[in-house]
Chains A and B, each alone.
Chain A
Amino acid sequence: MKYLIVNDQATLTSMGAADQTFMFPQNRVLGLESIDDTTTALLIQGTNDVDNEDTIVFKHADKSAAATHKVERNLIDDAVSAINSDSRLGFTVLFDLLNGVKLPNQILTDSTFTEV
């Protein structure tokens, strides 16, 4: 089993509170959902409430604009590739605002993690 990590805090001294930094196994992914023209959510089986879902939000360019209409589709490919990654390290960081890590088609600003 490999593990996935997200962190939505951009400042080191802001680390350490609810809904910020999260690690979960690959097999707890429930699905990807389009929220609006600039937002796609990755749903995870709840870590503290297993019959509910934790939500990871990926922000991206506006898919209603002609120049970027494929961005969400490409982001989904990015996410699936990262989720299925057989990382030699044992983990894959989906995004990390502190260290500037993100999926290729993602916008880091306002990408978030929320635990139920």
Chain B
Amino acid sequence: MILTQFAQEKELFMYVAEDATYATGDQAIFKASDFVGATTPTSTTTVFRFYPQDKSKLGIGGDPAFDSFTLEHTEDAHIEVLKGVAGVMSNPHGGFVVVQDDLGTTASSDGSSFGGVISDINYAPIASTGTAVSCSAVTITTVDA
């Protein structure tokens, strides 16, 4: 069963796709208003958790089974990845943001993520070293998947 409430006005939607070839892997959109938090389980991954879209997974009286996406990124670049995603996720005008899409293509470092442009977030380099930051993969755990 899918959640029946509508998104709030000026909602911001974040799109991720696991592979540039959409027949491979999953694609999903997450609402910024469902965002619960983000943590850093390994040296190259950051996981973003959201309240589930599937009502049966809300876990009323207990804990929900979160929807989430996990970005695999440059080693030790968690702070820059968090700042990059927060920057686009906080747009007060709402809209559509591509967090990660064209994996494996030359456009993956374009940096524009607003409107209809299908490319990814441009992350700042690691502050203490100047190392460039990019994402190499995304894993979706979401909705009815």
Contacts and interface: CB of A to CB of B under 8 A. Distances in A.
B104 interface: no
Contacts of A25: 35-37
B76 A90 contact: no
Range, interface on chain B: 35 or more
A62 B35 CA distance: 36
Among A16, A49, A98, the most chain B Cβ lie within 10 Å of the Cβ of: A16
Interface string B35-76: 111111111111001000000000000111010000000011
Contact of A22 (B33, B38, B89, B126): B38
Given A12-B129, A16-B43, A48-B49, A91 B86 contact: yes
Interface residues of A, number: 34
Given A15-B76, A17-B40, A47-B36, A23 B128 contact: no
Given A15-B76, A17-B42, A50-B36, A5 B129 contact: no
A54 B38 CA distance: 12
A59 B76 CA distance: 25
A29 to B, nearest CB: 12
A23 B46 CA distance: 10
Contacts of A54: 37
Contact of B76 (A16, A24, A49, A93): A16
Contact of A23 (B37, B41, B43): B37
B98 interface: no
A12 B86 contact: no
A16 B45 contact: yes
Contacts of B38: 22-24, 47
B76 A47 contact: no
Contacts of B82: 3, 5, 21, 23, 91
A99 B78 CA distance: 13
Interface of A: 1-3, 5, 7, 12-13, 15-18, 20-25, 28, 44, 47-51, 54, 87, 89-91, 93, 96, 98-99, 115
5 contacts: A15-B76, A16-B42, A16-B43, A47-B38, A48-B63
